[in-house]
Amino acid sequence: MANRLRGNMDASEYRDYILGFMFYRYLSEHQEKYLVKNEVVFPEEGQSVNDAYLTQVPEEDLNDALADIAGSLGYAIAPQYTWATIVDKVHDNKIAASDYQDMFDSFNHNLNLNANSKMDFTGVFDDMNLNNSRLGNNTAARAKALTNIIDLVDEIEYRDENGKDILGDIYTYLIAEFASNSGKKAGEFFTPHQVSEVLAKLVTENLDKNITRPSVYDFACGSGSLLLTVSEQLPSNMVVHYHGQELNTSTYNLARMNLMMHDVRYENMDLRNADTLEMDWPDGVDEHGVDHPRSFDMVVANPPYSARWDNNDNKLKDPRFKEYGALAPKTKADYAFLLHGLYHLKQDGTMAIVLPHGVLFRGAKEAKIRQALLEKNQIDAIIGLPANLFYSTGIPTVVLVLKKNKENKDVLFIDASKDFEKGKNQNTLRKEDIDKIINTYKERKDVDKYAHVASIDEIKENDYNLNIPRYVDTFEPEPPVDLGKLTKEMEETQKEIEKTQSELLGMMKELTSKDEKTQNDLNDFIKMLENEVKRNG
């Protein structure tokens, strides 16, 4: 699709338009199901749901119908702006450039019909700049480009050959493809699925299976792929409540679309566009009306590594950080993110976060925070991952698993850095690599050259340094050398060298001999010319 649309824009620049129109189509077709199920319209034989919607809802009843739709779905699309209506206009060459703007203006206006869902949908299409000159130099050219996108999006089959809805899979695939072409920028919105799967399996491993409405929180949620991967690990009878915070507005919009296109209802998602370290997640209110920190059953995150943050002295009073005696350095917010997530973890919950290896051994303030975490017995496991797994960086990373109420007083170290499939531009974790990590985490025992359960006393002896090679010895000794065989090989090699030298000397003598003959012939020819010149004056 992006390649066919390529003109003034690079393929990746079409992301917001392709994904945005896909989402609009999804919302419109999702509404069609609602119209039939709730008997708002009654399509006659051979009549489409959209045609019934256009003809069977009287103008005077339309506002009430839209209010009912919005009350249930959280949004409402008027008949003249449904996906099917817009596509029909495109096919009949009746689409006007203004229709696209009117379509989104109408959608935004109808959000006022449901105050509870307004925040979940407001601005979700803002990244689709319909007046972008890179779409075309004039209104007609831009309208043509948008029409081409409409045509291509309408061609996509949202169901497989068995009738299964695969829209969510398509959307995730497209996000991954755009990420792979975005280089370092991809780190802002996408965590590779294999890494997400490791985190998801870790935080769901000890989840109480009697919980019917578990909550998961990602404070740097990107496009929401990590949140969705967590739900894949849970039984279908659990209704997951998703919470996420994302600083980048475009990425925040992607996350909202991504979750909804995976059939997450707006009531079950609470995503916010904010700076996690500056704007803490709002407190909750219990049944007695008392404020308390919002906490979640599971916390997962792949935050930006070693980012800068404002660690002013007021942050020492912040309840997220004050118990650990120090603030993360101004140029390395890794521990600030970690403590934020841990603060919002329930007492019996599990947190898994991806960070650079430096958090394991860097000194000064980070050493003080690390020691406090260990003394509070909140670090459960440390897992070293292979290098070059991410789009945004080639460095090896580490997963820290944290709990607030651990029964065991040790830390499990796993070195999984050597188990991966090498790719041309990026390495990947295979299923067997992921299974090995999770099974080792479950069994929690030493595995030669792979895992070690370290007591707190052993960690103290290492001055609270958690660098994995201190605990997991992966050294492979060189195989013993057969001196007799080596001597014989050296003798044979020497004979080959002498033979080659002899052949080379012979060739040089032959060339020298030829060169002497050539030189003599040339001297004779010169003398002959000199004689001819003298004879002829």
Domain CATH for 72: 1.20.1260.30
Residue 514 lies in a domain: no
Q: Is the separation of the CB atoms in 188 and 270 below 8 Å?
A: no
Quick one: pLDDT at residue 184? 47
Joined together, the tokens standing for residue 456 give 């707190």
Integer CA distances (angstroms), 258 to 20, 82, 128, 138, 371, in order: 10, 20, 16, 32, 39
Give percent of the chain above pLDDT 70: 88
CATH code of 419's domain: 3.40.50.150
pLDDT digits (tens, 9 = 90+) for 248-300: 888 899 899 999 989 899 999 999 999 999 988 776 555 555 556 789 999 99
Same domain, 246 and 192: yes
Residue 491 lies in a domain: no
Decide which of 117, 135, 156 is a domain's last residue: 156
Residue 140 lies in a domain: yes
Q: Is the separation of the CB atoms in 41 and 83 below 8 Å?
A: no
Same domain, 228 and 128: no
Same domain, 192 and 146: no
Same domain, 344 and 442: yes
Beta bridge partners of 451: 414, 447
pLDDT digits (tens, 9 = 90+) for 97-146: 889 999 999 999 999 999 999 999 999 999 888 888 888 888 888 888 89
Which amino acid, one-letter code, is at 255? Answer: A
The distance from CA 341 to its chain's CA centroid, rounded to whole angstroms, is 18
Decide which of 444, 470, 496 is a domain's last residue: 470
Same domain, 240 and 97: no
Q: Is the separation of the CB atoms in 109 and 79 below 8 Å?
A: no
pLDDT digits (tens, 9 = 90+) for 58-109: 999 999 999 999 999 999 999 999 999 999 999 998 988 889 999 999 999 9
Instruction: Provide the terminal-to-terminal Cα distance of the chain, rounded to the nearest Å.
Output: 86
Q: Residue 450: which region, alpha, beta or left (left: phi > 0; alpha: psi -120 to 50)?
A: alpha
Residue 507 lies in a domain: no
Same domain, 99 and 235: no
Same domain, 101 and 51: yes
Quick one: pLDDT at residue 186? 44
Q: Is the pLDDT of residue 19 over 80?
A: yes
pLDDT digits (tens, 9 = 90+) for 397-419: 999 999 999 989 999 999 999 98
Averaged pLDDT for residues 425-435: 89
Q: Is the pLDDT of residue 537 over 60?
A: no
Beta bridge partners of 447: 451
Q: Is the pLDDT of residue 383 over 80?
A: yes
Q: Is the pLDDT of residue 183 over 60?
A: no
Burial status of residue 210 (CB atoms within 10 A of its CB: 0-12, 13-18, 19 or more): exposed
Decide which of 470, 493, 520 is a domain's last residue: 470
Residue 465 lies in a domain: yes
Same domain, 124 and 204: no
Same domain, 192 and 149: no
Q: Is the pLDDT of residue 376 over 80?
A: yes
Residue 401 lies in a domain: yes
**209 backbone dihedrals φ, ψ, rounded to 5°:** -70, -5
Residue 497 lies in a domain: no
Same domain, 201 and 318: yes
Range(s) of the domain holding residue 424? 185-280+292-470
Using CA atoms, how far apart are residues 420 and 366, in angstroms rounded to an integer? Answer: 30
Mean residue pLDDT of the chain comes to 87
Integer CA distances (angstroms), 221 to 24, 241, 302, 518, in order: 22, 14, 8, 81
Same domain, 229 and 139: no
Residue 367 lies in a domain: yes
Give the chain's domain count.
2
Integer CA distances (angstroms), 162 to 113, 173, 195, in order: 37, 19, 29
Same domain, 133 and 226: no
Give 505's DSSP letter.
H
